[in-house]
Amino acid sequence: MEALTTDVLVVGGGTGGTAAAIQAARRGANVILVSEFVWLGGMLTGAGVTAPDGNELEAWQTGIWGAFLRELERRQPEGLNHGWVSFFTYDPQLGAEIFADWVAELPNLKWIAGQVPQSVLRQGNQITGVRFGDYTIQARMLLDGTELGDLLALGDIPHRWGWELQAEFGEPSAPVKPNALTQNYPVQAPTWVMVMQDVGEGNEAAVIPAPPNYNPELFHGAWEDYGGEKFLNYGRLPGDRFMINWPIHGNDYGEGIQRLIGSESEKQRFLQEARWHSQGFAHFIQTHLGRRYGLAETIFPYTSHALSGGAYALHPYYRESRRLKGLTTVREQDLLPSTKGCVAGLPIVVTVQGCEQADNECDAIAIGNYANDHHYPGGDIKLAPKSIQWGGRWTGTPFTIPYRALIPATVDGFLACEKNISVSHMANGATRLQPCVLGIGQAAGMAAALCIEQNCQPRDLPVRSLQEALLSDAIAPTAVIPLFNLPMNHPAWFHWQRFYLNQPDAYPGSGYAPLQLESNQKLVERSLTPTQLEVSGIFKRLSQQQYELFITAPLSLISRTVSLVTLKGDIDHLFKCLKAEQPIVVVGHINHAGNWFLVDHCPIFQNELASHQGY
């Protein structure tokens, strides 16, 4: 067994762990990243969820998440606008290549694949390292980036698994008492994602065999409310491929989910059943929609794990894991819109010095905005609303993750950096999404590196030094305060990010910084990218935040009437100002799966903004 020593050890090459390792190394720490699988990125790559949810607005596309999107756009010439569940769908191999390339650029980051943690080393309340099958690695800082929070159990670090009742945190959607759902499904159902291929009309793909104990009744009605074509286009990928991650009588699987934290043999049995369940769904799709749809056999690498590879993801898409008991716990109400507002309140630490209260301190370190989304085999549960209409579409209330949720209440030398942060079961439905977890990982990695620099424990690290480091990172600066109208390229971005860190009580419930547009704003000449179109048409206002465009040119487009949507704050403002039935020219991307036009800019009427000061 080889013995290694490092500053920072990140265990788990998933979404958060990969971001943490990259950020810690970019900051200058010596880092070892140990992964079970041969791809880095977790949910975004190896789990096959290449239609990420949340943080889609331009203002939230910062940090490693924003850099990942821009690199995907550079490497995928077909663009990212293919499916209708997300604005970004891509080949999972490209995502894995990006993370591998970023890791390879860092000489102070050593990546070891194919290793699973066996035990956690600790001295009293200090975590000191991890023992794997072939390595023992000692580290000054240990980060748990595993898919199921494995180090929490191995290190006897206090954690949660399962539901909290309403009495514990006062969450509006939490159950008052245990019921069949809480007992049968203590955590959300995972999904073993697969990718299917359309081989074209008149052609036949290889037969997808039915798995053992195949029961087609489980899948009846899967696309009843959508139709087969729209169902497939949910996660459409380039190359006539489809990511299958379908919650309605689809491939979510949660039967006996408690086995995931049982013995190794129990866990493997659950995984085998989950994989068979997805195979059964693929067989059902082919049987009912036709032999033109088969498995995309060349997507995922084959490994020693007999369940994965080819068309099947390297591991399931885990929506929930063991969850740390931290210095604070993110609750459902922490993510809901403030009274008469569109954003959640900022997390504030109230410190007391002697008999006097010190200034309030905001400890936000990552942004999320997805709606609270829970998956159980029995269907959806009723949740407090956490959605808003913006940019001609539905999105989620933006919220922030507090630094304290990454730090154990009683253990040193350790940070959580995945779905395993200190969060309630209810709130996990919103904090678990891929872009948010990338942000959590980036913050955890930066915190670990700063702890090495300052020779301190995570609980003693001044949070403002962490926030400043994240805002001013040389490669992937990231926002920590959600502001709808403040993209990272705005000249006032740094000012307003710092302003609300200094004065968190002044953070506006609207989520808008008090900006004004110059009355002499000039039009900017832009050349079209290979995937952009310039379209002329008649602007139609169906209702508040619901817009359409009747296309008058070019007439070659399949749809003459499309929804107008945007991810940009200035275009959202323009939509609100335009008159109904007004001729307009827009530049952006057509999405046939969702029948929308994603507007990037409006070259003729952009100066309409100048007559409406402030937005």
Secondary structure element (H or E) that encloses residue 56, with its range: none
Percent of the chain at pLDDT exceeding 90: 88
Whether 8 and 67 share a structural domain: yes
Whether 106 and 253 share a structural domain: no
Whether 386 and 254 share a structural domain: no
**For the domain that residue 473 is a member of, what is the CATH number?**
3.50.50.60
Mean pLDDT on 75-99: 97
Whether 94 and 146 share a structural domain: yes
Residue 525 in any domain: the answer is: no
- At residue 366, does pLDDT exceed 70? yes
Residue 276 in any domain: the answer is: yes
pLDDT at 518: 42
Whether 277 and 331 share a structural domain: no
Whether 355 and 496 share a structural domain: yes
pLDDT at 350: 72
- Among 85-94, 437-446, 602-611, the range scoring the smallest mean pLDDT is 602-611
- At residue 516, does pLDDT exceed 90? no
Q: Contact 569/487 with Cβ under 8 angstroms?
A: yes
- At residue 345, does pLDDT exceed 90? yes
pLDDT at 471: 98
Whether 13 and 156 share a structural domain: yes
pLDDT at 190: 98
Mean pLDDT on 586-603: 94
Grade residue 359 by pLDDT with cuts at 50, 70 and 90. Answer: low
Secondary structure element (H or E) that encloses residue 127, with its range: strand 126-132
Domain limit, last residue, from 279, 295, 311? 295
Whether 357 and 392 share a structural domain: yes
The angle that helices 15-27 and 92-104 make with each other, rounded to 10 degrees, is: 30
Domain limit, last residue, from 487, 506, 525? 506
- At residue 607, does pLDDT exceed 60? no
If we measure between CA atoms, which residue out of 427, 488, 447, 399 comes closest to residue 55?
Answer: 399
Percent of the chain at pLDDT exceeding 70: 94
For 84, residues 6+ apart whose C-beta sits below 8 A from its C-beta are 230, 233, 234, 236, 591, 593, 594, 596
Burial class of residue 516, CB neighbours in 10 A (0-12, 13-18, 19+): exposed
Whether 492 and 559 share a structural domain: no
Residue 307 in any domain: the answer is: no
Whether 291 and 347 share a structural domain: no
- Say what the alpha-carbon torsion angle 577, 582, 587, 589 is, to the nearest 10 degrees: 90
Grade residue 527 by pLDDT with cuts at 50, 70 and 90. Answer: confident
In the chain, how many domains are there? 3
pLDDT at 610: 45
Whether 379 and 471 share a structural domain: yes
Report the amino acid identity of residue 306: A
Q: What SS3 class is residue 63?
A: helix
Residue 118 in any domain: the answer is: yes
Mean pLDDT on 199-210: 96
d(CA 1, CA 47): 30
In 337-470, beta strands by DSSP E? 348-349, 352-353, 356-357, 361-362, 364-368, 387-390, 393-396, 399-402, 414-416
The chain-wide mean pLDDT, for the chain, equals: 93
Residue 6 in any domain: the answer is: yes
- At residue 606, does pLDDT exceed 80? no
pLDDT at 352: 56
Angstrom CA distances, 532 to 111, 118, 518, stand at: 38, 50, 27
**In terms of pTM, does the model score above 0.85?**
yes
Residue 314 in any domain: the answer is: no
User: Within 10 Å of residue 199's Cβ, how many Cβ atoms?
Assistant: 16
For 267, residues 6+ apart whose C-beta sits below 8 A from its C-beta are 259, 260, 261
Grade residue 309 by pLDDT with cuts at 50, 70 and 90. Answer: confident
Residue 304 in any domain: the answer is: no
Mean pLDDT on 225-250: 97
pLDDT at 517: 54
Query: Residue 282 is part of which domain span?
Result: 194-295
Mean pLDDT on 454-466: 98
**For the domain that residue 552 is a member of, what is the CATH number?**
2.40.50.140
Mean pLDDT on 364-386: 91
Mean pLDDT on 31-43: 97
d(CA 323, CA 328): 12
Q: Contact 26/54 with Cβ under 8 angstroms?
A: no
Grade residue 358 by pLDDT with cuts at 50, 70 and 90. Answer: low
Whether 460 and 331 share a structural domain: yes
Residue 498 in any domain: the answer is: yes
